[in-house]
Structure formats: structure tokens, C-alpha cells
């Protein structure tokens, strides 16, 4: 896609802290659900404990999303449902505009919320009982549909920013993919963090780190694509004040890649580091990755406003 | 311009910046009729402009563009100080209307763009989309506000307050077809007088399908803070690229995840 040197005479929508944290939790929620589904699809029963943890993350993270979106509406918060229903007198109907990512996203969040809630309850009960609550075959099919929605939830926020006339946001095609890769990486880091002390999930720890490495590689490629596209559009200078945030994002990326490389080497050689050592690594890496996920979104959101 | 206002016909503004004197009568009339309290008074040190921008409290804004040349302009052809009464353009292809998720932004029976205050929920997607920076949030109501093209006055058969108050007829109101003809005549007159830099903005469909509030400018659109025709694009142009990038990333990420989780570890 070729972009003209952009001219922007717009006002900022002042999407600030609530939206930043919404984007963060949408990435974590969608990413966790996808990771849980992929772990379950691996077919190895030893991954089930980690898969449950992923679904236990996705549920509450999804619950936070509409709360943050509603809070962002300010004094009009009680009209949050106007996103779903057009209350124009004489023209009352459901609202759905496939060309408006915000409209599609609201519906996707509603439907994904159903999947995330069911999978959360299933994981919670399964964990207490020690056996699956929903038959596994049915659950897998359910999870696959939920994961497709999860991929959308984690990515559409970037597309929403692009579908505007704001500087930076509308000057690149990379934000949807970037937010998705970053959300998956953050979710993998959070799953790794929470399973690091669970013996029943220890089998999955290195594999989750390895997956995080792949997600981070994608994220790195998309960060480069992002800077190239906004550079071509002439809005690169807007990122300069936010370089400290980009530095945090890059540190998170690097930590994820180094950790993944370490685990892949250990798996290849058949050895493993000391359990205590891996736990410390996982904790530090997870914190760095999650801070990076937040910083990346903050840099993108604030640089346009 | 006396005119009989009928539902079903397109109405708008033709703002001729060549005769704007920067008196701000339009700003005052707009505020009075629409009961806009205005922002807190500030000194912007920006020419004669202390309004600053269009927003929830300023639905008309007289821009002052200081454009002083190195040599004196000839008598009658001065463009050293450009003035323009800016307003919502009521675009035929309106970016704000395109992205609004609630259906609050509608096209009226006068083919103008109107934000229904009882439907808007303050999501601000329209603000991120409007390429002219027209729309602002009212913190008291929690809703987006902009020029209504005096919808209530039109329904009562009255012309908008700003056009009524303009002492130089820089702001002309009327049926769009009549305004377009008047603009063509005015442009031809200026060109015949050697004012070749004069140009119409939004008169034809090259800018957002045509603007109901269009302008005669004395310099390039960018000089007045208006996107040029090649840059006047709807937000939806980025749907395809944005979603394609996301789908490709999703496919690669799923493959990566499957590779990571399929790998077996023993021992």
C-alpha cells in the first residue's frame, strides 16, 4: 500500500489511560485464549494444566475490557449500550457497521466474552475437580471458535486506530498485526509467570517461552514495518518524544527472545537449568515483556495525540 | 441571500474568503443562537485569533493566516493577511458519520450532517476521524458537538445565524446548486481580475464527495489547514491494509504456536 506524505489537521480524540489499559487487557485476553487453545490442540495431556491457566487469565482480562471502555465514556457511561442498539427515534435497530472497527469490535467483544466466560468456568471447575468439566472434543471445537475471536480481539484495536485520520495511526497498516503479536507475547509471558511454580504445568514452561519467542520475532518485524511506514508518511518525528517507551518495549522484546533461545537450546540439548534459576528468569522476563506490551501501546496511542 | 427552505433539498454554505474581514460576527452569532458559553478567555498571541480552533464551544472559527510577502502587494490584490471563517464542512462522504458506531451522526432532510445528542455516547471515534478537526467533546454532556448548520433554524425556515450576521457576505447560505453557481461566477471574476491564486475548495466531488460548506480560497488548502484533494481520504481506506496485516500476523502466530507446542520434550 502506498501512502502519500500525510497532512493531518485533526483534533486528538483524547483516548488516554482507560483506552491504553483496554488495549492492554484486550491483547492479554485474546492472546491467552489463543495460547490456551493451541496448548490444548497440541494433544499432549501434560499441556492441559497450562491451558487451564491460560483460560483462567482470559476470563477476568475479558471482563475488565467493557468496564474500561464504559469508564472511558465519562458522564455518558450509561449509554454504553448505544454501541449495540441504535436508539434514533423512528430508526431503532441493532448497530453493526462492518466498515467501522469500533462497531465490529464491540460485537466481537460481546461474543468473545461468552466464550471466555464459559472457558473460564470450565477451567476453574476442571482445576478443582481434577477432570475436564466439558467433554474435551466439544471443548476443542468451542476453543477454536473462541480463539478466532480472541485473535480478532487482540488485533482489531490496532486496526481501529488506523481507521481514522490521525497522524501516525492512519499512516500505517502495521498496527493490527503489531498489537496482535504483542498481545500474544504478553499473554505467553503471563502464562509462563503463573505456571512457573506449578509442578503439574512445568512441562509447558519451556514451550510457552518458545512460543513467546516466535510471537516476539513477529512483533519485532512489525515494529520495523511500523517505523518504515510512518517514516514514509512523514510522521516519524512524532515518535521521538516517546523513545523511552519504545526502549522499554524493545527491552521486553529482547528479554523474550533471549529467554526463548535459552529454552530452545536447553530442549535441544535435553538438559534443563536449575528449577530455581528458570523461575527467576521467567519472573523477570515476564515482567519485562508485560511492561513492554504496555509501553508499546502507550507509545503508539500517545504519539498521535 | 433570501431563500425559501424546503426539506429534501441540499443546503450549505459558500464561504468566500476573499471578502472576509475577520470581524468574527459569525462566531458571536453562532454562540448566541446556539447558546454556546465559549471556552475560558485566553490570549493565544496568534495574530488576531484568540478562539484557536473549532471545538464543542466554537462552531465557527475565523482563522487568521499571516502571509506577509517580502515585497508590497499591488493595490487590491493583497493576500498578506488571509482570513477564513471555518466551520463543519458537512461532507457528502463524511468521515465522522462513517466511523460512528452508535448511529448518532445522521444526514438531515437538508443533506447536512447532524449529531443527535440523545444518541451520542461520547466514544470520540468521530473526533479521531474528522480530517478538519471540527468536532469537540462537551465535558458537561459527555457528547460530541459541532456545527448543526442551524438545523433548528432551517426547520423554522430561517437561514443559519452566522450567514445572517456576516456583514460582507463572505458566508453565503442557500441551496447547494445555487451556491455552486455563485461560486463559479465569483471565481471567474477573480481570475479575470488577475487573482489567479483564487481557487474553490470542496465545490466538486474531489474532496469527500463534495462539501456542503465549501470555500473560495486565496491560497492552497494546506495554507488554511485544509487537506488537499489527494489527501482527503476516508478512514475506511485503512480497513483492508489493517485487517490484512492482522490476518497475516495471526496465521504466522498460530503456525509458530503450533510448532512450539507440538515439539516433544522427554526426560
The yes-or-no verdict on residue A89 having pLDDT over 80 is yes
Read off the C-alpha cell for A53. Answer: 491457566
Averaged pLDDT score across all residues of chain A? 91
Query: B152 in a domain, yes or no?
Result: yes
Query: A7 in a domain, yes or no?
Result: no
Using an 8 Å CB-CB cutoff, list chain A residues near B249.
155, 176-178, 180-181, 218, 222
pLDDT digits (tens, 9 = 90+) for A125-149: 988 887 666 776 678 899 999 999 9
pLDDT digits (tens, 9 = 90+) for B4-51: 899 999 999 999 999 999 999 999 999 999 999 988 888 888 888 889
For residue A89, what is the nearest residue in chain B, using CA coordinates? Answer: B119
Lowest mean pLDDT among A87-91, A219-223, B81-85, B260-264: B260-264
pLDDT digits (tens, 9 = 90+) for A113-123: 999 999 999 99
Q: What are residue B248's DSSP bridge partners?
A: none
Q: How confident is the model at residue A266 (pLDDT cuts 50, 70, 90)?
A: confident
- Find which of A266-270, B85-89, B221-225 is predicted with most confidence, using mean pLDDT: B85-89
φ, ψ of residue B84 in degrees (nearest 5): -150, 130
Distance between B225 CA and the closest CA of chain A, angstroms: 6
Helix-, strand-, coil-residue percentages of chain B, each rounded to 5: 30, 20, 50
Handedness of CA A157, A162, A163, A165 (dihedral sign): positive
Query: A2 in a domain, yes or no?
Result: no
Cα distance between residue A193 and residue A188, in whole Å: 8
Cα distance between residue A111 and residue A88, in whole Å: 24
For residue A84, what is the nearest residue in chain B, using CA coordinates? Answer: B102
The yes-or-no verdict on residue A275 having pLDDT over 60 is no
Q: How confident is the model at residue A265 (pLDDT cuts 50, 70, 90)?
A: confident
Query: B96 in a domain, yes or no?
Result: yes
**Quick one: pLDDT at residue A270?**
62
Cα distance between residue A20 and residue B216, in whole Å: 41
Q: Which of A42, A86, A163 sits opposite B102 (nearest CB)?
A: A86
Q: Tell me which residue of A245, A248, A235 sits closest to A304, measured CA to CA.
A: A235
**Quick one: pLDDT at residue A137?**
61
Provide the b/e sequence for B105-135 (b: ≥16 CB within 10 Å). Answer: bbebebbbbbbbeebbbbbbbbbbbbbbbbb
CB neighbourhood size of A121 (10 A):
15
Q: Read off the pLDDT of each residue in B86-94 and give the average, rounded to a whole number.
A: 98
Which tops the pLDDT comparison, A271 or B262? B262
Query: A25 in a domain, yes or no?
Result: yes
Read off the C-alpha cell for A35. Answer: 495460547
> Is residue B249 within 8 Å of A31, Cβ to Cβ?
no
Q: Read off the pLDDT of each residue in B86-99 and give the average, rounded to a whole number.
A: 97
Cα distance between residue B151 and residue B175, in whole Å: 14
Q: Read off the pLDDT of each residue in A48-63 and give the average, rounded to a whole number.
A: 96
**Quick one: pLDDT at residue A2?**
38
The radius of gyration of chain A from alpha carbons, rounded to an integer in Å, stands at 20
For residue B256, what is the nearest residue in chain A, using CA coordinates? Answer: A214
pLDDT digits (tens, 9 = 90+) for A72-88: 999 999 999 999 999 99
Region of residue A131 (left: phi > 0; alpha: psi -120 to 50; beta: else) = beta
Query: A185 in a domain, yes or no?
Result: yes
Could you give the number of structural domains in chain A?
Answer: 1
Cross-chain residue pair A13–B125, CB shorter than 8 Å: yes
Cross-chain residue pair B101–A102, CB shorter than 8 Å: yes
Query: A6 in a domain, yes or no?
Result: no
The yes-or-no verdict on residue B94 having pLDDT over 80 is yes
Q: How confident is the model at residue A278 (pLDDT cuts 50, 70, 90)?
A: low
Lowest mean pLDDT among A12-21, A36-45, B55-64, B160-169: A36-45
Cite the DSSP H helix spans in chain B.
Answer: 25-34, 95-99, 125-129, 151-155, 161-165, 176-192, 239-262
Cα distance between residue B16 and residue B174, in whole Å: 14
Tell me which of A39, A44, A107, A164 to substitute to probe the interface with B (most B C-beta atoms closer than 10 Å): A164
Q: Which of B53, B131, B253 sits opposite A181 (nearest CB)?
A: B253
Query: A142 in a domain, yes or no?
Result: yes
For residue A159, what is the nearest residue in chain B, using CA coordinates? Answer: B242
Domain range for residue B143?
Answer: 11-234
User: For residue B228, what is the domain's CATH number?
Assistant: 3.30.70.20
Q: Tell me which residue of A32, A19, A20 sits closest to A60, measured CA to CA.
A: A32
Domain range for residue A258?
Answer: 17-303
Q: Which residues contact A40 (CB under 8 A, 6 or more apart)?
A: A47, A48, A51, A136, A139, A140, A143
User: For residue A56, what is the domain's CATH number?
Assistant: 1.20.1630.10
CB contacts < 8 A (A, B): 233
Query: B136 in a domain, yes or no?
Result: yes
Q: Tell me which residue of A24, A52, A30, A20 sits closest to A290, measured CA to CA.
A: A24
Using an 8 Å CB-CB cutoff, list chain B residues near A10.
127-128, 130-133
Query: B46 in a domain, yes or no?
Result: yes
The yes-or-no verdict on residue A1 having pLDDT over 50 is no
Q: Tell me which residue of B74, B43, B120, B212 sits closest to A87, measured CA to CA.
A: B120
Could you give the number of structural domains in chain B?
Answer: 1
Query: B97 in a domain, yes or no?
Result: yes
pLDDT digits (tens, 9 = 90+) for B112-135: 999 999 999 999 999 999 999 999
Cα distance between residue B223 and residue A62, in whole Å: 46
Query: B243 in a domain, yes or no?
Result: no
The yes-or-no verdict on residue A33 having pLDDT over 90 is yes
Cross-chain residue pair A13–B98, CB shorter than 8 Å: no
For residue B241, what is the nearest residue in chain A, using CA coordinates? Answer: A173
Lowest mean pLDDT among A11-15, A20-24, A53-57, A278-282: A278-282
Cross-chain residue pair B122–A75, CB shorter than 8 Å: yes
Query: B23 in a domain, yes or no?
Result: yes
Distance between A263 CA and the closest CA of chain B, angstroms: 11
Cross-chain residue pair B127–A14, CB shorter than 8 Å: yes
Cross-chain residue pair B99–A164, CB shorter than 8 Å: yes
Q: How confident is the model at residue A6 (pLDDT cuts 50, 70, 90)?
A: low
> Is residue B47 within 8 Å of B183, Cβ to Cβ?
no
Query: A162 in a domain, yes or no?
Result: yes
The β-bridge relationship of strands B81-87 and B60-66 is antiparallel
The yes-or-no verdict on residue B96 having pLDDT over 60 is yes
Amino acid at each position: 500500500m502506498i501512502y502519500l506524505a500525510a497532512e493531518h489537521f485533526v483534533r486528538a480524540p483524547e483516548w488516554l489511560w482507560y483506552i491504553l489499559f483496554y488495549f492492554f487487557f484486550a491483547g492479554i485476553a485474546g492472546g491467552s485464549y489463543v495460547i490456551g487453545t493451541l496448548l490444548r490442540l497440541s494433544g499432549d495431556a501434560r499441556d492441559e494444566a497450562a491451558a487451564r491457566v491460560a483460560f483462567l487469565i482470559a476470563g477476568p482480562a475479558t471482563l475488565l475490557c467493557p468496564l474500561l471502555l464504559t469508564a472511558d465514556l465519562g458522564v455518558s457511561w450509561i449509554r454504553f449500550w448505544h454501541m449495540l442498539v441504535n436508539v434514533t427515534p423512528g430508526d431503532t435497530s441493532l448497530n453493526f457497521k462492518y466498515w467501522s472497527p469500533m462497531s465490529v469490535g464491540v460485537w466481537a467483544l460481546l461474543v468473545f466474552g461468552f466464550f471466555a466466560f464459559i472457558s473460564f468456568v470450565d477451567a476453574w471447575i476442571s482445576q478443582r475437580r481434577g477432570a475436564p468439566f466439558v467433554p474435551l472434543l466439544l471443548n476443542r471445537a468451542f476453543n477454536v471458535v473462541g480463539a478466532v475471536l480472541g485473535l480478532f480481539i487482540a488485533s482489531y484495536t490496532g486496526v481501529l486506530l488506523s481507521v481514522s485520520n490521525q497522524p501516525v495511526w492512519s499512516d500505517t497498516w502495521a498496527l493490527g498485526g503489531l498489537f496482535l503479536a504483542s498481545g500474544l507475547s504478553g499473554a505467553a509471558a503471563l502464562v509462563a509467570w503463573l505456571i512457573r511454580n506449578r509442578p503439574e504445568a512445568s512441562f509447558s514452561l519451556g514451550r510457552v517461552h518458545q512460543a513467546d519467542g516466535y510471537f516476539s520475532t513477529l512483533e519485532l518485524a512489525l515494529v520495523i514495518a511500523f517505523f518504515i511506514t510512518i517514516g514514509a508518511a512523514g510522521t516519524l518525528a512524532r515518535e521521538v518524544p516517546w523513545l523511552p517507551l519504545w526502549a522499554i518495549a524493545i527491552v521486553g522484546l529482547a528479554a523474550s527472545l533471549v529467554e526463548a533461545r535459552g529454552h530452545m537450546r536447553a530442549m535441544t540439548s535435553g538438559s534443563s537449568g536449575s528449577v530455581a534459576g528458570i523461575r527467576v528468569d521467567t519472573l523477570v522476563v515476564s515482567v519485562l515483556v508485560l511492561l513492554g506490551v504496555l509501553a508499546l501501546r502507550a507509545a503508539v496511542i500517545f504519539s498521535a495525540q | 441571500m433570501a431563500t425559501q427552505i424546503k426539506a429534501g433539498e441540499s443546503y450549505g454554505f459558500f464561504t468566500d474568503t476573499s471578502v472576509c474581514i475577520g470581524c468574527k460576527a459569525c462566531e458571536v452569532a453562532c454562540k448566541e443562537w446556539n447558546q454556546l458559553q465559549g471556552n475560558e478567555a485566553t490570549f493565544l498571541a496568534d495574530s488576531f485569533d484568540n478562539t484557536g480552533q473549532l471545538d464543542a464551544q466554537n462552531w465557527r472559527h475565523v482563522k487568521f493566516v499571516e502571509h506577509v510577502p517580502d515585497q508590497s502587494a499591488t493595490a487590491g490584490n493583497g493576500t498578506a493577511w488571509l482570513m477564513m471563517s471555518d466551520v463543519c464542512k458537512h461532507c457528502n462522504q463524511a468521515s465522522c458519520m462513517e466511523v460512528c458506531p452508535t448511529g448518532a451522526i445522521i444526514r438531515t432532510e437538508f443533506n447536512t450532517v447532524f449529531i443527535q445528542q440523545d444518541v451520542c455516547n461520547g466514544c470520540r471515534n468521530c473526533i479521531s476521524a474528522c480530517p478538519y478537526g471540527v468536532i469537540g467533546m462537551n465535558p458537561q454532556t459527555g457528547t460530541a458537538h459541532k456545527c448543526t448548520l442551524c438545523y433548528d433554524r432551517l426547520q423554522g425556515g430561517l437561514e443559519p445565524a452566522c450567514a445572517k450576521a456576516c456583514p460582507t457576505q463572505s458566508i453565503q447560505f442557500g441551496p447547494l446548486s445555487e451556491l455552486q453557481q455563485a461560486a463559479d461566477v465569483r471565481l471567474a471574476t477573480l481570475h479575470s481580475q488577475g487573482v489567479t491564486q483564487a481557487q474553490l475548495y470542496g465545490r466538486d466531488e474531489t474532496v469527500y464527495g463534495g462539501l456542503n460548506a465549501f470555500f473560495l480560497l486565496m491560497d492552497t488548502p494546506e495554507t488554511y489547514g485544509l487537506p488537499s484533494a489527494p489527501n482527503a481520504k476516508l478512514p475506511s481506506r485503512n480497513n483492508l491494509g489493517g485487517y490484512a496485516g492482522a490476518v497475516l500476523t495471526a496465521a504466522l502466530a498460530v503456525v509458530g504456536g503450533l510448532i512450539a507446542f507440538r515439539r516433544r520434550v522427554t526426560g
